Amino acid sequence: MSDRPIGSMLLIGVGLVGTSIALAAARAGWQVHLRDRNTSHALVAAGLGAGTRADPDPDLVDLVVVAVPPDHCAQVIAESLAEFPHATVTDVSSVKGALGRHLRGLVPPELAARHVGSHPMAGSHRSGPAAADPDLFVDRTWVITPTPGAPADRVARVRTLAQVCGASVVSMAPDDHDRAVAAVSHLPHLAAVLVANQLNELPSDQLWLAGQGLRDVTRVAAGDPALWVQILSANADAVRPRLQQLRDGAEQLLSDLDDRRRLTGTLSSGVDGTRRIPGKHGRAERAWDEVVVEIPDAPGALARLFADVAATEINIEDMTIEHDQLREVGFLALSIDAERASALRETLEAADWVVRPG
């Protein structure tokens, strides 16, 4: 394979993730070609500047990115390896082990060697190319899952793609990746689904009590069921023991409800688990505090608040907005360094914002 920089990339599957990758690659100056069975998706992505719908010269394609649903991924990879004789082919499927085994049953080893699996760990409950963002993967983890003996130059091509998208790259064996995502992605989705399912039984007047906590817990349950059926079916062997562990934990929690000591232990263990989640850029999580500001539902209010916050030069780690169900106001919660929280509260109060006590 040539060591020349990637000049021509083909994206197959023009959805949210694929289009976000294409937008980042096009912004970096790559020649990006778009292919999708849904012509309107390709038209939208091309209109956004993600690439061209013109078919590429097969001999000039350096990289193929397959971003199709899991059930079709192995077949499309196999077809791409045959059609583009010099290209490295990667995919963005969220399950790698079963995909690799399926692919090796479709193509000879010399073709399979040009495939390097990958998985950008970012997405959205929204879908389609119109929701794409070239910065979707900035500072997010992008997992590369090469098989043993994968050519280093092929792996480097996929690493370059991830870096162009602004991601932090890690490498894992395919089956290790699947066990990891079962715990940190697939199980949380199912837990959110179980909580959201119970909302179907509540009278509408009780749902008015819902706060941001419920929205946070159930947000991912809004994902496309058809896609998630494919993901969970492909990774069932890794998801099943995690679900069993969750079931055992729920049964234990039921008995703990009548024993405050054991209940405290279970809740404290949950706190310990949240503290193990890495912070930005993979660093250990720092001590953050929330500054909650009331925002009137009026034109320009949010922009004015952001301007007042920016003037303090205090870095915002994260933010959420909760809407009052009865009044036309919202509450913006800003997560910042705990040592700067008091100063921000004082500054905003001086600017006539209503700030909740710390």
pLDDT tens digit sequence for 222-232: 888 999 999 99
- Residue 133 sits in which domain range? 8-172
Q: What is the DSSP letter of 60?
A: G
- What is the tally of structural domains in the chain? 3
Residues 163 and 186 in one domain: no
Residues 126 and 27 in one domain: yes
| Distance (Å, whole) CA 180 – CA 185 | 8
Q: Is residue 262 scored above 60 in pLDDT?
A: yes
Encoding tokens for residue 304?
């004015």
| Distance (Å, whole) CA 288 – CA 280 | 12
What pLDDT was estimated at residue 282? Answer: 47
**Residue 271: CATH number of its domain:** 1.10.3660.10
Q: Is residue 28 scored above 90 in pLDDT?
A: yes
Residues 319 and 228 in one domain: no
What pLDDT was estimated at residue 279? Answer: 63
**Residue 130: CATH number of its domain:** 3.40.50.720
Contact at 8 Å (CB) between 92 and 122?
no
What pLDDT was estimated at residue 280? Answer: 53
Q: Is residue 5 scored above 80 in pLDDT?
A: no
Residues 166 and 182 in one domain: no
CA distances from 27 to 30, 165, 177 (A): 7, 10, 29
What amino acid is encoded at 136 in this protein?
L
pLDDT-derived band of residue 1, with 50, 70 and 90 as boundaries? very low
Contact at 8 Å (CB) between 188 and 46?
no
pLDDT tens digit sequence for 30-65: 999 999 999 999 999 999 999 999 999 999 999 999
Residues 76 and 105 in one domain: yes
| Distance (Å, whole) CA 19 – CA 92 | 12
Residue 281 lies in a domain: no
pLDDT tens digit sequence for 138-196: 989 999 999 988 999 999 999 999 999 999 999 999 999 999 999 999 999 999 999 99
Q: Please, which residues bridge with residue 254 across strands?
A: none
Which phi and psi angles does 332 have, rounded to 5°? -95, 120
Question: Which one of 275, 308, 331 terminates a domain?
Answer: 275
Closest to 11 measured CA to CA, from 42, 39, 43, 38: 42
Higher pLDDT, 277 or 325: 277
Question: Which one of 243, 275, 307 terminates a domain?
Answer: 275
Tokens 């837990």 belong to residue: 191
CA distances from 319 to 44, 72, 261, 263, 301 (A): 30, 37, 34, 30, 16
What pLDDT was estimated at residue 325? Answer: 64
Question: Which one of 172, 189, 221 terminates a domain?
Answer: 172
Helices (H) and strands (E) in the chain, counts: 15, 11
What pLDDT was estimated at residue 283? Answer: 47
Residue 243 lies in a domain: yes
pLDDT tens digit sequence for 310-338: 888 888 877 778 776 667 778 888 888 88
Q: What's the pTM?
A: 0.79
Residues 17 and 151 in one domain: yes
∠ CA(141), CA(147), CA(152), 5° rounding? 80
Residue 117 lies in a domain: yes
Residues 21 and 160 in one domain: yes
Residues 322 and 205 in one domain: no
Residues 168 and 182 in one domain: no
Residue 151 lies in a domain: yes
Residues 168 and 184 in one domain: no
List, in sequence order, every beta strand (DSSP E) within 275-314. 288-296
Residues 187 and 298 in one domain: no
Tokens 């562990």 belong to residue: 245
95, exposed or middle or buried, with CB in 10 Å at 0-12, 13-18, 19+?
buried
Residues 193 and 222 in one domain: yes
Encoding tokens for residue 31?
């020649």
What amino acid is encoded at 106 in this protein?
L
